Amino acid sequence: AQSVSQHNHHVILSEAASLELGCNYSYGGTVNLFWYVQYPGQHLQLLLKYFSGDPLVKGIKGFEAEFIKSKFSFNLRKPSVQWSDTAEYFCAGNNAGNMLTFGGGTRLMVKP
Amino acid sequence: EAGVVQSPRYKIIEKKQPVAFWCNPISGHNTLYWYLQNLGQGPELLIRYENEEAVDDSQLPKDRFSAERLKGVDSTLKIQPAELGDSAVYLCASSFVITGGVGELFFGEGSRLTVL
């Protein structure tokens, strides 16, 4: 079955630390990939998306993700996190015509 | 521009009671989704509508869950009767999708159900 997996369930960082959250997918062929964020008490919001083209995708709030086809990965990165980045992060993916599948989420806590 | 609106935000019911959730998608969006999110897990698709048609409902437990999207706009999700294991957040999302593709999903704030 097609799936998306996130390796880290909980991550704790200090402010200014670098962030990398792992995401792997199992789709074959053309794939669309997304990272969503859910801040405490708020709804899911799109951080960034990859459909095609440049495998390094830049999103909002300084986040970026790199699509590495050979590794079936789409890891999320940020060079320097802030306390306001405390949230839950979800990787999601699909290929054309199929439903969007979410990973289990990674809960990030940034200590001030 | 208004986002995806869901109601109620919170609902507490006793088991075996019915419950209904309502969703109003973003104007112009042709595709509507209902997702289930259990605590500590990612959203799982229950049903997807393209306009009025349910195009993917394979994950919807049809013995107790039902959904409708009359006129291709608002949607309701119903559970009857509710069970303890149905306690979760029910998320509605909408997008504008060209047939066969997927667009950016915009999510509502969710309806948190507690079944006692």
Residues of B in contact with A94 (CB under 8 A): 102
Of A4, A43, A104, the CB nearest to B110: A43
Neighbours of A51 (CB within 10 A): 14
Q: Do A94 and B48 touch (CB under 8 A)?
A: no
Integer Cα distance of A109 and A99 in angstroms: 30
- Nearest residue of A to residue B37 by CA position? A104
Q: Which helix (H) or strand (E) holds B80?
A: none
Mean pLDDT for all residues in chain B: 91
Name every residue whose Cβ is closer than 8 Å to that of residue B113 and which is 6 or more positions away in sequence: B11, B12, B13, B19, B21, B79, B82, B86, B87, B88, B89, B90
User: What is the band of B1 on the pLDDT scale with cuts at 50, 70, 90?
Assistant: low
Q: Do B3 and A45 touch (CB under 8 A)?
A: no
> Which residues in chain B (45-64) have CB-CB distances under 8 A to chain A?
45, 48, 56
Neighbours of B80 (CB within 10 A): 13
Among A10, A100, A107, most B C-beta atoms within 10 A, so best to mutate, is: A100
* pLDDT tens for chain A, residues 1 to 112: 668 999 889 999 999 999 999 999 987 778 889 999 999 888 899 999 998 899 999 999 999 999 999 999 999 999 999 999 999 999 999 876 667 889 999 999 999 8
Q: Do B105 and A94 touch (CB under 8 A)?
A: no
Residue by residue, what is the 3-state secondary structure of A44-88?
A: CEEEEEECCCCCEEECHHHCEEEEEHHHCEEEEEECCCCHHHCEE
Q: Do A102 and B102 touch (CB under 8 A)?
A: no
Verify cis geometry, omega within 30 degrees of 0, for the bond prior to B8.
yes
Q: Do A100 and B45 touch (CB under 8 A)?
A: yes
Summarize the confidence of residues B54-75 as an average pLDDT.
90
Supply the DSSP symbol for B101: -
